[in-house]
A and B are shown apart, each in its own frame.
Chain A
Amino acid sequence: MSGDYPTTDDLVISGGGRTAIASDELFEHAHELEKVGIESLSCARQLASVDGILDGARLRATQAPSSAYEAEAAMATATATLAELEREASMVARLLRLSADAYGGAERFAADAMHELGARLGYAVGFFLPVIALAVAPSVAVALGGALVIASLSPGGVRGFVGGIGEWLRGNRRALTDPMNVALVKLGVSSADDFGAGLVRMPPGVVQALGDDGLGVLGTTTTAATVALVGQQFGVFAETPVTARRVSRETGSTPPKTIVDRIDRLPDTGENTYGEQIVIDRIEVPGQPDRFEVYIAGTVDFTSVGQSEAFDMTSNVYGVADLPAGSYRATQMAMEQAGITRHTPVVLTGHSQGGLIAATLAASGDYDVRGVVAIGAPTAHVDVPASIPMIAIEHTDDLVPALSGMRTDSSAILVERRAYAPGAELGDSPLPPHEKSAYRVTAGLVDRAHDDTVREAIRAMSYRGEATVTTTSYLAERVP
């Protein structure tokens, strides 16, 4: 259904422990109509008490003029009309909320059906792969041979041909940012484990028992762990020890109150002095325990061979595999240096890989996490406890959140929006809908959302009083 999303400022909100899925506009209308109903009832009650000041007996006893009787009749009419208004407004509000529930149910049914279909298809392809490979091998050999001949005849040779594919991808970012393709990637990632199970000829009953609907042994994490394991055999995705060191400290900012405030505090690794990826605010309030806000950047190095950068692809793969990624361990070190213990109230915000780290830290149970904001992050497979308010903001045309597959847990509040309209100018970035600047626009809409669940989550994770804020930046590095 994501292909149907409008390209307006419309947010689609789901999760937060409820079954409804709806645009923020629908929740806003339901809320407004409920207020109209409550106000109508209040007016009707006040009118009834005003009407009671003078009853019929008193009017007759005092020989009241006819206009006083007419006033009584008009007040009775107004009271009845207000009561009808209350009934109508409340009924429409209830219907709006019911339609959100029904839409949520239909969306979930469709998602479950797609998940099931994808899993079965993945299993069947894996199971019959040897047969399929045998059948298509001659054709593939001919095709590959043809491609090599064409490549060698091309002006830049084979290397130029391969480079051309990269150029094609850069020139066809529309395909990578098409919401339908993003949804297919999500489905494909969720079905990858079923493909593997089919390939090793695991009985379907065992796959179901071990899968997402059973013990949860198989899933996106298993697939990522397999990628990490296989990658290590070829010298890529090798984890290393990491360090985290403080590079700057300043005092004087104010506590963040909104999602935009938090996005603005996310470290900009390309712009700041040392390339630091972690920023921690210590919020000191007299008479209260200190509270902290941790802001974690996204992937800095997109290569698969470990250099000094801790926020690299290796950390990405290990993070999705729910293994101790270098960036995760470095963030833990920075938090420890900042004085964050398991009893310190902390709110975690992260973009992309940083959002994955934030959600994983919250799910670990090792910290007193009071809120998580995951921006364009692959967190669908992370089970953050329902007691922790979590807002996951995802663009339906952003490929990165899709890399963790389909979301199975409904406790996180998921806010979705299509960042770019079809045909819109995409700019120079490889994945424009994944950019922090694109998410900042969506975050502004989230801050102004009328949905009660979103508002309550933002309120719960924000400190609104006077406080002293000390901001410290940390640089995470790999130790070869």
Chain B
Amino acid sequence: MTDPSLVGPLELQRLALGQIAARVDSLSRRVPALGARGGRWAGPARDAYNAKLLEIARLANEAHGAVIAARGCVDRAIVAVINDVR
């Protein structure tokens, strides 16, 4: 049987992961906003820069997805521990 003392640390992780998810979400929104504007640069340099920004935005989205997934797993783990104890 699962040790019920696991619930406390899992709850702590769940709470912290919620905060981190919000921070990473905010990060993932900032990067595309930079690429959306025109300006002094033009042609290939601008295209290459925008491609790099897209790559950074993809990494930020991936990180956000992984944090959300981790939080989902922790949620399920808490439910599983509680059910097991019952």
Interface set of A (CB-CB < 8 Å, partner B) = 6, 8, 10, 12, 23, 25-26, 29, 32-33, 35-36, 39-40, 42-43, 46-47, 50, 53-54, 58, 61-65, 67-68, 70-71, 74-75, 77-78, 81-82, 84-85, 88-89, 92
Contacts and interface: CB of A to CB of B under 8 A. Distances in A.
A62 B70 contact: no
Given A25-B39, A43-B23, A74-B73, A88 B55 contact: yes
Given A42-B23, A50-B13, A54-B13, 15 more contacts: A33-B56, A39-B23, A43-B24, A50-B17, A53-B12, A61-B3, A62-B3, A68-B73, A68-B80, A71-B73, A71-B74, A78-B20, A78-B69, A85-B27, A85-B56
Nearest to B5: A62
A25 B37 CA distance: 9
6 contacts: A40-B27, A46-B23, A77-B69, A78-B67, A85-B63, A92-B49
A442 B33 CA distance: 24
Q: How large is the interface on B (under 10, 10 to 19, 20 to 34, 35 or more residues)?
A: 35 or more
Interface of B: 1-3, 5-6, 9-10, 12-13, 16-17, 19-20, 23-24, 27, 30-31, 34, 37, 39-41, 49, 52-53, 55-56, 59-60, 62-63, 66-67, 69-71, 73-74, 76-77, 80-81, 84
A46 to B, nearest CB: 6
A63 B3 contact: yes
Contacts of B67: 47, 74-75, 78
Contacts of A82: 24, 63
Contacts of A92: 49, 52-53, 56
Contacts of A85: 27, 56, 59-60, 63
B84 A65 contact: yes
Contacts of B20: 43, 46-47, 50, 78
A89 B24 CA distance: 14
A32 B49 CA distance: 14
Contacts of B69: 74, 77-78
A12 B41 CA distance: 12
Main secondary structure, interface of B, reads helix
B77 A68 contact: yes
Given A32-B34, A43-B23, A81-B59, A63 B73 contact: no
Nearest to B2: A63
A39 B27 contact: yes
Contacts of A36: 27, 30-31, 56, 60
Contact of B10 (A12, A61, A68, A78): A68
A63 B71 CA distance: 19
Contact of B80 (A26, A65, A88): A65
Contacts of B80: 65, 67-68
A64 B81 contact: yes
Given A63-B1, A92-B56, A74 B27 contact: no
A67 B74 CA distance: 7
A81 B1 contact: no
Given A53-B13, A54-B9, A75-B70, A84 B59 contact: yes
